[in-house]
């Protein structure tokens, strides 16, 4: 009798695990292959800092006289949209000299290989992100069913060539462009936020690109909560006039873009230190509550 009960439990458990795996695989496949992304208009945020991403997954361009920097590659299928946006701004993809990444999940690392092939730019990544990008999306912190599907080639994305690895606090330069890397681990171990100055007329604005401070149920590791707490402290310490993240809705791209078109100074609607702190406060509340997204 006891034996039977155990068997029943096992069957139910296996059934539940299979259903969960199917749901996750479906979502992941959709995310990896298409991601539901639509093309979006590129636009200047401030000075030499532009939005070149799709309707939701973001990509940014920082331009300079000695070459440009692109932050994030979207999904594999987003990369052509990013290239079209760069061309629309009247710039040449071949002048992109450096590629950077927020975190190596398929929605931000998936298109880097395509961008790299088109530009021959040098890709810089944190140690943990580098390992994942170079393996086409594998990550020891992902749940096993997802990893297994990456290993057999069902999931994942074209592996990028990581040219350089940086440490926390390093600054990546292309001519006068200087972006400082802040490893704000939590969402992934190598999650990188970026801070850099942008000149707008006679003022200098501090930009922070935040790596997603939330966590996914499919990507967990020991010490993750402590990492997230530390990352939020780091983010709080950064001066931010303008802030962005790697999903457009999270930093109010649409709202700010519309306000920008009507504003006397098109840059002003993007200046949002209050929104930056509210975003960090919300991430802190999420961390305390144990919620995942």
- Contact positions vs Zn ion (CB under 5 A): 105
Question: Least Å distance between CB 63 and Zn ion?
Answer: 27
**Strand pairing of 96-100 and 68-71?**
parallel
Judged by CB, which is closer to Zn ion: 85, or 245? 245
Judged by CB, which is closer to Zn ion: 31, or 98? 31
Judged by CB, which is closer to Zn ion: 132, or 195? 132
Pairwise CA distance, residues 57 & 72, whole Å: 9
In 89-197, which residue ranges form alpha helices assigned H by DSSP? 106-109, 112-119, 127-134, 144-151
Residue at shortest CB range from Zn ion: 105
Judged by CB, which is closer to Zn ion: 105, or 256? 105
Question: Least Å distance between CB 7 and Zn ion?
Answer: 38
Which of 277, 255, 259 has its CA nearest to residue 267?
A: 259
Q: What share of the chain is helix, strand, coil (3-state, %, to 5)?
A: 40, 20, 35
Question: Least Å distance between CB 104 and Zn ion?
Answer: 8
Question: Least Å distance between CB 199 and Zn ion?
Answer: 31
Judged by CB, which is closer to Zn ion: 112, or 177? 112
Question: Least Å distance between CB 288 and Zn ion?
Answer: 21
Question: Least Å distance between CB 224 and Zn ion?
Answer: 13
Judged by CB, which is closer to Zn ion: 105, or 189? 105
Given a contact cutoff of 8 angstroms between Cβ atoms, the answer to whether 129 and 103 are in contact is yes
Given a contact cutoff of 8 angstroms between Cβ atoms, the answer to whether 164 and 134 are in contact is no
Report residue 52: phi and psi, to 5°: -130, 20
Question: Least Å distance between CB 220 and Zn ion?
Answer: 13
Judged by CB, which is closer to Zn ion: 42, or 136? 136
Pairwise CA distance, residues 94 & 83, whole Å: 10
67's torsion region: left (phi>0), alpha (psi -120 to 50) or beta?
left
Question: Least Å distance between CB 27 and Zn ion?
Answer: 13
Judged by CB, which is closer to Zn ion: 104, or 269? 104
Given a contact cutoff of 8 angstroms between Cβ atoms, the answer to whether 177 and 62 are in contact is yes
Given a contact cutoff of 8 angstroms between Cβ atoms, the answer to whether 32 and 75 are in contact is yes
* Structure token pair of residue 199: 């000149």
Pairwise CA distance, residues 245 & 132, whole Å: 20
Terminal Cα distance for the chain, rounded: 41
CA-CA-CA-CA torsion for 114, 118, 123, 128, nearest 10 degrees? 10
């Amino acid at each position: 009798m006891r034996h039977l009960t155990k068997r029943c439990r096992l069957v139910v458990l296996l059934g539940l695990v299979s259903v969960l795996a199917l749901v996750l695989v479906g979502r992941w496949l959709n995310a990896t292959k298409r991601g539901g992304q639509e093309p979006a208009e590129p636009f200047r945020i401030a000075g030499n800092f532009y939005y070149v991403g799709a309707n939701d997954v973001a990509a940014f361009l920082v331009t300079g006289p000695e070459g440009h920097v692109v932050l994030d590659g979207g999904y594999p299928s987003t990369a052509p949209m990013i290239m079209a946006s760069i061309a629309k701004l009247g710039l040449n993809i071949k002048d992109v000299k450096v590629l950077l990444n927020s975190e190596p999940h398929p929605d931000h690392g998936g298109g880097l290989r395509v961008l790299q092939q088109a530009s021959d730019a040098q890709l810089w990544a944190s140690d943990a992100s580098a390992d994942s990008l170079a393996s086409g999306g594998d990550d020891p912190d992902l749940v096993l069913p997802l990893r297994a599907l990456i290993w057999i080639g069902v999931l994942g994305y074209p592996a990028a060539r990581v040219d350089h690895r940086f440490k926390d606090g390093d600054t990546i330069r292309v001519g006068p462009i200087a972006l400082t890397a802040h490893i704000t681990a939590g969402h992934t171990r190598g999650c990188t936020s970026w801070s850099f100055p942008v000149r707008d007329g006679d003022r200098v604005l501090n930009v922070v690109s935040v790596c997603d401070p939330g966590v996914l149920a499919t990507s967990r590791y020991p010490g993750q909560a402590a990492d997230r707490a530390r990352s939020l402290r780091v983010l709080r310490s950064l001066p931010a006039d303008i802030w962005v993240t790697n999903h457009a809705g999270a930093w109010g791209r649409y709202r700010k873009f519309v306000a920008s078109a009507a504003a006397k100074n098109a840059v002003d609607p993007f200046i949002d230190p209050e929104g930056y702190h509210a975003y960090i406060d919300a991430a802190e509340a999420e961390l305390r509550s144990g919620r995942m997204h």
